[in-house]
Amino acid sequence: MSSRYWLKNQIQNRCFDWLLLLIWIGIGGILRFAFLAALPPWTDECATIAFSLGNSFLSVPLNSLINSDVLLEPLMPLPDRGIDLVMEHLMAESTHPPVYFVLANLWMKLFSTLDGLASIWAARALPALLGVASIPAMFGLGCLAFRSRLVGHIMAGMMAVSPYGIFLARDARHYTWASLLVIASLSCLIYTVTVVKRKEILPGWIGFVWVVINSLGMATHYFFSLVICAAGIVLLSQAGQDWQRSKVGWPILAKPYWRRIYGVGIGTIFGCLVWLPTFQSINGSEPTNWIYDGNPTVEWFAPIGRLGMWMASMVLLLPSAITIVPTLIVVISGLVTIVFFVSIWPSLVRGWQIQRENPDAYVAVEVLERYIISTIALSLLFTYGLGMDLTLAARFQFVYFPAIIAWLGVILAGVWESHQPNGQELASPTAKIDKGHNFVQLPSFMSRLISRLSIASLPNSQLIRENGKRLVTCIWLMGLLGGLTATGNLGYLQNHRPDILAPIIQQKSHHPIFIATTHKHHGQTGRMMGLAWKFKQLSHSNSSGSDIKFFLADREATTRTYTKAVAILQKTLSQIERPLDLWLIDFRAPIEPESQDCFPDGRGWAGEYKYKLYHCLQDASHPSSPPYR
């Protein structure tokens, strides 16, 4: 009877696990797929779609008047564009490795076009689907690394509602695929360190899989090198521990279980070397020069502040998009966020202490801590040491995003189990917390750091006395609120927003629209594509979007000036039919539209675009005064 009861209980537990995991997947799927095609594509999405289709940006004429259809040609699928053209155009015009673009090329062939253009829903659906896949992947990581379904479920639940994860998943780019590879590589790292601590040899097939994962990661995004380097630092720290504790000294590192890891390292190096020439070409490349725009040596605190914002958004994001949210709401959201994190800090410290003393979790927690510290340190090294500010873009934080969710998940599992309903604490059997409730002194940098930042009388805190399950539920609900904020595009995680500028242009223009911008690379083309896409949407309900013209003023390669392009633009202005409304958008060259009887009517900033509006008269005989005042 007892065996039958045990079997029935196991089956019920497994069914509950699968049901709960499906709930996490369902919630995460809704947050990632809801209103997926609501926004027009922004610059980088246009580039991803175009290269995935096997198209080139070189087909868009420069220094000439073009309409929306010509501008949007790179986003038009052609049946003869295969993987060979994807590789050719990507290597010639971009700085990204090809794996995701090849996958996207195969994916986009499954969907029909809309008005001759690629489906923006289809382009975003692939990363959204990969983002949903990260939810069961985190559950698997929790079960593998911590041998706990509770940890796995909390990790999966937090990943499902993570605002940062939703932000990445709703973007037609390759960062959810890269995040999945980070989860896989992190799983291999944790398992490897666990095996080494037991002085066992890593199974050959796991070593091979890890090499493949790392190679795919480098073939997806070159910043995956930070993941590989951080894993190397973790393994080096483990080697240092083994050497210090060994009686034989350095020969311990020649043991068979270490030699297998050396083989994995060599395989990873060879898998990455193939991309070294392309990686070297990134330095000085026009599309990536913006990462040098920061000035961390002068504004030294700005990168740290941005890192804090990006990490906070992995858990909580309240309405804070300054482009569309009132300033008062942004301020209130910031204050609520600070109060929230300060209020839960003591409980998080308590949960962290319990898991550090849990023999089933200690190794994995230590690996996660070392990995997170290493990736952040490497990012700051690039930022302050090499002048490549990796904190300028939220998406670059994908290298440690899964580790943050995993670390938080295991801490919340400790919080969940740290309180009995009557307030009694469930101490770990190996806990060494003294009777004075002082903190355990653990031999790690993270231990000392958290202990110093925490409250000395932690167990006396009112929040600690609350039920742990309620606290974890509250944190998850706040994460869900952040996920809804990300889905509604109301948070500070924002890309360029053509949908904000296009209605302004339409509202303020009473004559045919002429949009001009300066051009350095396909990034500026993509910005105009986003506007053209939005105007095409608006034209379905309003014919005003059908007579818009664009001019991409190209910078000369030799002189690196726009003198020739501006001269052509001014000549075009003198020949084009009038009256018209001239919009200079992100125009970074001196120009005098007034000499062409075009008079200014305001300037502004909207959706990450800077603009100036000029009204151009019908002919030169009109009085030299602005006609629309």
Q: What is the DSSP string of 365-410?
A: HHHHHHHHHHHHHHHHIIIIISS--TTS-GGGGGGTHHHHHHHHHH
Q: What is the mean pLDDT of residues 563-578?
A: 92
Of 121-125, 381-385, 482-486, the range with the lowest mean pLDDT is 381-385
Q: What is the mean pLDDT of residues 30-56?
A: 96
Which pLDDT value is given to residue 440? 33
**For the chain, what percent of residues have pLDDT higher than 70?**
85
Q: What is the mean pLDDT of residues 116-137?
A: 97
Q: What is the mean pLDDT of residues 200-226?
A: 95
Which pLDDT value is given to residue 164? 98
| Cβ 311 vs Cβ 398: under 8 Å | no
Q: pLDDT tens digit string along 147-195?
A: 899 999 999 999 999 999 999 999 999 999 999 999 999 999 999 999 9
Q: pLDDT tens digit string along 547-558?
A: 799 999 999 988
* Whole-number Å distance between alpha carbons of 498 and 537: 12
| Cβ 318 vs Cβ 481: under 8 Å | yes
Of 58-72, 188-202, 214-228, 247-261, the range with the lowest mean pLDDT is 247-261
Which pLDDT value is given to residue 181? 98
**Mind giving me the DSSP string for 487-548?**
HTT-SS-----HHHHHHHHHHH--S-EEEEEEESSHHHHHHHHHHHHHHHHHHTT-GGGGG-
* Whole-number Å distance between alpha carbons of 518 and 588: 6
Q: What is the mean pLDDT of residues 622-626?
A: 42
Which pLDDT value is given to residue 94? 87
Which pLDDT value is given to residue 622? 42
| pLDDT confidence tier of residue 563, bands split at 50, 70 and 90 | very high
Q: What is the mean pLDDT of residues 207-216?
A: 97
Which pLDDT value is given to residue 381? 94
Q: Report CA-CA distances (Å) from 125 to 174, 429, 547, 602.
A: 12, 47, 31, 39
| Cβ 582 vs Cβ 570: under 8 Å | no
Reduced to 3 states (helix: H, G, I; strand: E, B; else coil), residue 65 is strand
Mean pLDDT in the chain? 86
| Identity of residue 629 | R
* Whole-number Å distance between alpha carbons of 454 and 461: 11
Question: Using only C-alpha atoms, what is the Rg of the chain?
Answer: 28
| pLDDT confidence tier of residue 427, bands split at 50, 70 and 90 | very low
Model confidence at 438: pLDDT above 50? no
Of 297-311, 362-376, 479-493, the range with the lowest mean pLDDT is 297-311
| pLDDT confidence tier of residue 426, bands split at 50, 70 and 90 | very low
Query: Where exactly are the structural domains of the chain?
Result: 2-33+125-416, 498-616
**pTM score:** 0.89
More confident residue, 285 or 372: 372
* Whole-number Å distance between alpha carbons of 389 and 310: 14
Q: What is the mean pLDDT of residues 429-444?
A: 35
Model confidence at 5: pLDDT above 90? no
| pLDDT confidence tier of residue 502, bands split at 50, 70 and 90 | very high
Which pLDDT value is given to residue 55? 96
Model confidence at 420: pLDDT above 60? no
User: Scanning the structure block, which residue is given the tokens 């309903």?
Assistant: 421
Q: pLDDT tens digit string along 263-290?
A: 999 999 999 888 777 666 665 566 667 7
Specify which of 54-68, 291-305, 537-551 reaches the highest per-range mean pLDDT.
54-68
| pLDDT confidence tier of residue 241, bands split at 50, 70 and 90 | confident
Which pLDDT value is given to residue 545? 52
| pLDDT confidence tier of residue 376, bands split at 50, 70 and 90 | very high
**For the chain, what percent of residues have pLDDT higher than 90?**
66
| Cβ 471 vs Cβ 415: under 8 Å | yes
Model confidence at 626: pLDDT above 50? no
Which pLDDT value is given to residue 467? 74
Dihedral over alpha carbons 585, 591, 593, 596 (to 10 degrees): -140
